[in-house]
């Protein structure tokens, strides 16, 4: 495993962007790409991109650009996305259902292994390829499969309790869509995706 | 209007977080809060918070903490969230429906004025308080109402075309949920919310 813990968080974020662009180029049968073009596609600064790529031990050949497949493989290996990581989804309301039908997970290295919901009405329906299961069996499932990452899409009022449960099950990373700032143990990492915060940020910068 | 263009983007992002915490404190009838407590709730560094607050021209009184309502009002005024900003939503699939039923917009200063979809089956149903309208009338609606911010939740393959249309309608900010990096004119700001990128980032940092 080529994890280099000293890589800054922002570089890791940009590696995800590069990966996305490289996948697109690969689908379009593009074989080589210059750092300038890749930087432009990913909307980052070219110098920044070249600095990030020093973490790959990959300098490209001046005037030849990068081989798309080779670069994609190197980043996949850095990011651990060269194999599918199983994740669970908790909460299958509108948002959870939207996430279940989202097509982009596999390409980015993730597979929803199971979805859980407290509402037994939702257990009857499968959403996409994944069966929705009762939350009572969540703990056993996560432990048995050794799953480390969960997406939390439950209502605000139950988010904290479910996050605590997930931490007890052995989950180490939570992508939180509930509009709540979670309190989690030190060995659990919670990222928040808050739509209203993103909107505020956007709106501020376009104000005249 | 108190816009201070020199405020760093990250501070603006944190102001959204502070606002969310202050709203919660206000709901819980808390009247004053120390910078340490507020920083801890928002999960930011207390020194950072105090630095951010210099943009408010607000220093609090040592030992007394901040008045919750007063601080909330000041940040609302800075962020322009002291009045509701109308926005439109384009694309009412699973994700769009989830966003329409999301309860957190009003509290954060936004109101979905209309939702648009290409599929006329979806026009029959109202989603929450908002009627879903044919995309053909979008341009006229946005221009008539002077709307500047749109949420884009259409499928990947139509995202770029719809974004171009929105720019022509006078939209200046797009919150993009489609898994595509948008090309927009220089006077339009597009923020991407990409679930798979967030997951990759999270997964990287919990890898052993």
CATH number of A121's domain: 3.40.50.720
Please report, for residues A60, A154, B11, B61, B155, the alpha-carbon distance to residue B35 in angstroms, rounded to integers and kept in the order given. Answer: 48, 30, 15, 10, 43
B200 to chain A, minimum CA–CA distance in Å?
7
Say if residues B99 and B72 touch (Cβ distance below 8 Å).
no
- How many structural domains comprise chain B? 2
Residues forming a β-bridge with B86: B111
Amino acid B1: pLDDT: 41
Q: Which residues contact A54 (CB under 8 A, 6 or more apart)?
A: none
Determine which helix (DSSP H) or strand (DSSP E) holds A79, and give its type and residue range. Answer: helix A68-79
Cα–Cα distance for residue pair A44/A65, rounded to 1 Å:
17
Tell me whether residue A47 is in a domain.
yes
Q: Do B104 and A195 touch (CB under 8 A)?
A: yes
In this structure, the answer to whether residues A98 and A190 fall within a common structural domain is yes
The reply to whether A124 and A36 lie within a common domain is no
Interface of B with A in 60-119 (CB under 8 A): 79-81, 85, 87, 93-95, 97-99, 101-105, 107-110
Euclidean distance between CA atoms B166 and B149, whole angstroms: 9
Give how far A63 is from chain B: nearest CA, Å. 26
Looking at this predicted complex, what is its ipTM? Answer: 0.74
Domain residues for the domain of B165 are 85-197
Residue B93 sits in the same domain as residue B188: yes
For residue B149, the cross-strand partners are: B87, B173
Burial class, A188, CB count within 10 angstroms (exposed 0-12 / middle 13-18 / buried 19+): buried
Burial readout B153-178 (b: 16 or more C-beta within 10 A, e: otherwise) = bbeeebbbebbebbbebebbbbbbbb
Q: Are B158 and B186 in a shared domain?
A: yes
In this structure, is residue B208 part of a structural domain? no
**Burial label, A156 (beta-carbon count in 10 A; 0-12, 13-18, 19+):** exposed
pTM of model > 0.90: no
A15 and A31 belong to one structural domain: yes
Residue of A nearest to B171 (CA): A206
Q: Which residue of B has its CA nearest to A201?
A: B13
The residue in chain A having the minimum alpha-carbon distance to the alpha carbon of residue B180 is A20
pLDDT at B105 over 70: yes
Same domain, yes or no: A120 and A73: no
Q: Does A124 touch chain B (CB under 8 A)?
A: no
Considering A79, A94, A120, which residue would you say is the last residue of a domain?
A79
* Domain-embedded: residue B206: no
DSSP conformational letter for A61? B
Same domain, A21 and A91: no
Mean pLDDT over the full length of chain A? 86
Mean pLDDT computed over A14-43: 91
| Cα dist from A67 to A20, A37, A70, B181, whole Å | 15, 13, 5, 21
Query: What tens digit of pLDDT does each residue of A125-135 get?
Result: 666 678 899 99
Q: Of A19-23, A38-42, A103-107, B88-92, which gets the smallest average pLDDT?
A: A103-107
Q: Please return the burial class of A32, using the count of CB atoms within 10 Å of its CB with bins 0-12, 13-18 and 19+.
A: middle
Tokens of B83: 């009045």
- Could you tell me if A120 and A186 lie in one domain? yes
Render pLDDT for B3-18 as a digit per residue (tens, 0 to 9): 445 788 889 889 988 9
Which 27-66 residues of chain B touch chain A by CB within 8 A? 41-43
């Amino acid at each position: 495993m080529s994890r280099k813990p000293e890589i800054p968080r922002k570089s890791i974020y940009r590696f995800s962007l590069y990966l996305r662009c490289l996948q697109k180029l690969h689908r379009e049968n593009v074989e080589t790409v210059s750092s300038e073009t890749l930087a432009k596609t990913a909307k980052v600064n070219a110098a920044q991109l070249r600095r990030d790529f020093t973490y790959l031990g990959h300098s490209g050949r001046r005037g030849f650009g990068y081989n798309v497949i080779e670069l994609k493989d190197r980043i996949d290996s850095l990011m651990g996305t060269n194999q599918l990581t199983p994740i669970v989804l908790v909460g299958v309301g509108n948002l959870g259902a939207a996430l279940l039908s989202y097509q982009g997970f596999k390409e980015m290295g993730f597979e929803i292994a199971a979805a859980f919901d407290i509402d037994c009405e939702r257990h009857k329906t499968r959403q996409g390829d994944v069966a929705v299961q009762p939350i009572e069996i969540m703990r056993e499932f996560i432990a048995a499969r050794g799953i480390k990452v969960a997406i939390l899409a439950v209502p605000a009022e139950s988010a904290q309790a479910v996050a605590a449960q997930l931490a007890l099950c052995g989950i180490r990373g939570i992508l939180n869509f509930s509009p709540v700032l979670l309190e989690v143990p030190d060995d659990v990492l919670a990222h928040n995706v808050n739509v209203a915060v993103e909107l505020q940020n956007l709106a501020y910068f376009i104000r005249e």
